[in-house]
Amino acid sequence: MDAPEHKRRIALLGSTGSMGKQSLEVIAQYPDLLQLEVIAANSSADLLIEQARTYKPNMVVVVQEEAWRKVKDALQDEDVKVFCGEQSLCDVCEMECVDMVLSCIVGVAGLRPVWHAIEAGKQIALANKETLVVAGELMTRKAAENRVPLLPVDSEHSAIFQCLAGEQFNEIEKLLITASGGPFRGRRREELAEVTVQQALKHPNWSMGPKITVDSATLMNKGLEVIEAKWLFNVPLDKIEVVVHPQSIVHSMVQFADGSVKAQLGLPSMKLPIQYALTYPFRLANSQPRLSFADYPSLTFEQPDREVFPCLGIAYECSKKGGNMPCVMNAANEVAVAWFLQGRIKFLDIAEIIRKTVASAEYCVPQSVDEYLAIDRAVRDRLQKDYR
């Protein structure tokens, strides 16, 4: 299929992270189709400077002021505008020169800019899980009202999205989200008591940022993906199942009412789902390595061990309760993972901190992005106070 005639103008939020860097490489492969309008990051000044000089965006946004000054000074001789602050991050998402916002921001920081992009009617390519985990009902309702497509970038959700192409009139019986199992698949709980940060960051198949890699090790990543899938595809929680697939070749599957199962397969690489979201509905040729079944004579599947990895069950429980509970869970997880990466707590403490935080939270139903963000801040403040 031929590519569209007009370029898609992209605002890339979170350009300095793992997903952002890969997205820049994908965008650069299709200069006749994709135009990089904006790159944005929190504080990685040196990398932002390098990216601006290499990929030539029209605008750069830096959230932290000190980093902004460094970037602004360094790019004085470049034909690029450099903006500062969280509000600027939201403002560029609404600009007429932007057609699509690709959100690769990690964590709840991605919430507000995506909301502004939806309000402005921009297409959304979503790599930020927390946008739908924390405020899925609010976001999907606003996207539907504004007729804004939410195009998934996560490999699992992209796989489901691809499997559902042409199936809009057919009943979904089950979504099957695959998981590699992380670096500790098959371990007993007592074996995880003293695992190190370095061990947790050695993912067997995927190259990701530290926070997402630790989430994969605890299986919280799959819990977040279950909640995200619920909102993306409007499927009840009891129709979403996690299946451990150590080879990471089958990226996810859909089972239909007649018992048929469709799967999307490929080598473990984020570049294909990034490309599919940015160029949808077109499939464009690329030079990425191809899957050879001769290299994978055996594809295996098993059930996740929820006793060893309780974060998955916690995510299901919080999603069933709804309201603010996924937001509380997400905030507690972000804090606990940060503490683990800093060496302040042990690996098994992550799930325990999340469980206690959720159990002590008072249920409510937030009505705005500001309310969700206020809940997030309150959880973080309480944790800092309780565990100082």
pLDDT tens digits along 291-317: 999 999 999 999 999 999 999 999 999
pLDDT tens digits along 174-230: 999 999 999 999 999 999 999 999 999 988 777 678 998 999 999 999 999 999 999
> By percentage, how much of the chain surpasses pLDDT 70?
98
* DSSP state, residue 62: E
First to last CA, the chain: 58
Count the Cβ atoms, other than its own, within 10 Å of residue 286. 13
Nearest Cα residue to 304 out of 292, 291, 314, 318: 314
pLDDT tens digits along 227-270: 999 999 999 999 999 999 999 999 999 999 999 999 999 999 99
- Which one is predicted more confidently, 368 or 3? 368
Q: How far is CA 24 from CA 40, 49, 125, in A?
A: 12, 14, 14
Edge-first strand order for the sheet with 100-103 is 81-84, 59-62, 34-41, 8-13, 100-103, 123-126, 150-152
**Predicted local confidence at residue 4, as pLDDT:** 58
Find all residues with CB under 8 Å of 104, minimum gap 6, and list them: 12, 13, 14, 15, 17, 19, 20, 23, 127, 128, 153
Mean pLDDT score, 154-168: 96
**Predicted local confidence at residue 205, as pLDDT:** 75
Could you tell me which CATH number the domain at 8-152 has?
A: 3.40.50.720
DSSP string over 346-372:
-TTHHHHHHHHHHHHPPP----SHHHH
- Does the reported pTM lie above 0.75? yes
Architecture of domain 157-382: Orthogonal Bundle (1.10)
Residue boundaries of the structural domains of the chain: 8-152, 157-382
In this prediction, residue 1 has a pLDDT band, given cuts at 50, 70 and 90, of very low
Which of 102-111, 326-335, 365-374, 375-384 comes out lowest in average pLDDT?
102-111
What is the CA angle 59-62-66, rounded to 5? 135
Between CA 221 and CA 227 the distance in angstroms is 10
User: Which backbone phi and psi does 17 adopt, to 5 degrees?
Assistant: -80, 180
Which of 104-113, 141-150, 366-375 comes out lowest in average pLDDT?
104-113
Find all residues with CB under 8 Å of 275, minimum gap 6, and list them: 26, 29, 284, 286
